[in-house]
Structure 1
């Protein structure tokens, strides 16, 4: 999975506004229009403490984003009064989402891009060739998943949140295997700047003279994956029995020491 497009989101410190918006502009569609949907989300950001400049920058980006026919969405990430990334979504979010947090909430974008890749050609062309290409792509993805699961079981690996965090901090992760769970309440702690400043307990960072900041676990993990150059594979909950739905394939044979 290519995550290079996320690098600008982790190049500096936050806080960050992350917005997932139904950008459908068809006037025949029921419910509020795009401006009304944005105003609701803008209110959510403001109530969470977002600064007016950042909220205004997102509003300008939404108004300036090219309209297109059909149902679709938009993911926008902004900080310090500037929009850093605006990505169209093939499918609008089931519900609008606006988050103000120390890290960007990018996992929903990653998950949707992964799903969209498998069905992109078919959505544009229902020909037999497009269907065949989609089936081939799905088969390749399935083979890659099976290969990764086999490597996880046969070689050096980390299982569970604490072990994976230590391995990411030590730069020993080749690929993270993650069950995407938007409802997860898992939390981790990070430090500024270096993506390897990640811990499952705040004391691990405090002992190193780093002020720990509590964040969503998936946000911290994504920052560490992008920053260390590790790979990421989203798997199904039944693919592998993993504590907290996470494991990692490691570069070496040294087992991690949980912290």
Structure 2
């Protein structure tokens, strides 16, 4: 996963107020706006108790709950610094619990988790209920969405909509297929999910560019979704749940291949110490993480992204005076963004990493193999 969406946040100097809030309004709560206002006040009090400045608290309060036009269950991630809004993002799902934190580094891991698995896709629905013949009357209504899952739950992707007489559907489907092929190449789509009338969608699928046909997944049943929610949301949720993006799977395969090599010729490492050492030198291509929100691991950090260490003494030995102890995931994330390295969240059922961390290096520092004894 590329973390470019966090770059605007780190352009702001800390300290940061970080807030995660459930802003769903179509819940069983009688007055959801009143409930959101109550939780907002609690989070405001938490920030104040942690020493946040009044302007940053005010900026966070003004942003919280402002997503009144987003339907369905969802949440918000709000980050402010020095009285200014540093980053505001809608969350595809409500946070596990509302949280607020004020500290030198922003609490970004819950937001990163909600960007995962980050699967680019095309979803299409062909609406037709008439006679299955190209000389029939009536209209085929076609809609499609190109996006990245699960963000399109709350941030609509590129949407296409056409209404075509059945008599023109054969020719129109060919033109639509070419257009979908262009969009799929643009986002490097991993799947094309198609729903709707079996006859009409079959004509469309057969006219898709040949390389795209192998990525088609047809689903049955209604494909309707509420306005401003992802097209075919229910089906996408079931299809992509627990799945890693192809790009991340490729990085993980490379990591595993490197791990199998001799130690002196290996461009990978595991454990927190190895990850910190590689990040200090800007050598990390991708960091692999078993996400443990309950983890108590801490790192010491300086003002710059690559200034992180296991101990305070190590940082001070480099001549860094302004040092702080932070959550390990917050320190690692800032270093990844600062060095433009990638992050791969690895479910433990796929691979359990030593100390929950592994790194794929940009290059190998070759060391001579040990001489054989005797």
TM-score computed with the length of structure 1 as normaliser? 0.87
Give the Cα separation in 2 of the matches to 1:133 and 1:70.
14
Specify which of 9, 34, 39 is matched with residue 36 of structure 2: 34
The alpha-carbon deviation at position 119 of structure 1 amounts to 4.6
The alpha-carbon deviation at position 207 of structure 1 amounts to 1.1
Q: Would you say the 8 A contact 1:151–1:249 is kept in 2? A: no
Q: Which has the larger radius of gyration?
A: 2
The yes-or-no answer on 1:219 pairing with 2:221 is no
Question: Who is 1:61 aligned against?
Answer: 63
Question: Who is 1:22 aligned against?
Answer: 22
Q: Sort the Cα spacing of 1:255 and 1:247 in 2 relative to 1 into closer, same or farther, 3 A.
A: farther
Specify which of 242, 259, 270 is matched with residue 153 of structure 1: 259
1:191-230 Cα distance to aligned partner (Å, 9 max, x none): 11x2111111111111122122100000000000000011
Q: Would you say the 8 A contact 2:92–2:153 is kept in 1? A: no
Give the Cα separation in 1 of the matches to 2:24 and 2:194.
22
Specify which of 50, 71, 74 is matched with residue 72 of structure 1: 74
Q: Sort the Cα spacing of 1:176 and 1:33 in 2 relative to 1 into closer, same or farther, 3 A.
A: same
Give the Cα separation in 2 of the matches to 1:176 and 1:36.
38
The alpha-carbon deviation at position 71 of structure 1 amounts to 1.5
Give the Cα separation in 1 of the matches to 2:274 and 2:91.
33
Matches within 5 A, 1:1-259: 1-26=1-26, 28-29=28-29, 33-62=35-64, 64-115=66-117, 117-119=148-150, 127=195, 128=218, 131=235, 135=239, 138=243, 141=246, 143-144=249-250, 146-154=252-260, 155-192=266-303, 194-211=304-321, 212-254=323-365
Question: Who is 2:171 aligned against?
Answer: none
Q: Sort the Cα spacing of 1:255 and 1:157 in 2 relative to 1 into closer, same or farther, 3 A.
A: farther
The alpha-carbon deviation at position 14 of structure 1 amounts to 1.2
Q: Would you say the 8 A contact 2:2–2:341 is kept in 1? A: no
The alpha-carbon deviation at position 153 of structure 1 amounts to 1.6
Q: Sort the Cα spacing of 1:51 and 1:126 in 2 relative to 1 into closer, same or farther, 3 A.
A: farther
Number of residues of Structure 1 aligned to a counterpart in Structure 2: 255
Task: Considering Cα pairs closer than 8 Å and 6+ residues apart, tell me whether 1 or 2 has the greater RCO.
Answer: 1
Q: Would you say the 8 A contact 1:77–1:83 is kept in 2? A: yes
Give the Cα separation in 2 of the matches to 1:133 and 1:59.
31
Q: Would you say the 8 A contact 2:271–2:357 is kept in 1? A: yes
Task: Identify, as 1 or 2, the structure richer in helix.
Answer: 1
Of 112-121 and 56-65, more deviation after overlay is shown by: 112-121
Q: Would you say the 8 A contact 2:23–2:67 is kept in 1? A: no
Instruction: Tell me the C-alpha RMSD between the 2 structures.
Output: 2.9
The alpha-carbon deviation at position 145 of structure 1 amounts to 5.7
The alpha-carbon deviation at position 236 of structure 1 amounts to 1.3
TM-score computed with the length of structure 2 as normaliser? 0.62
Q: Sort the Cα spacing of 1:134 and 1:152 in 2 relative to 1 into closer, same or farther, 3 A.
A: farther
The alpha-carbon deviation at position 28 of structure 1 amounts to 4.7
* SS, match of residue 24 in structure 2: coil
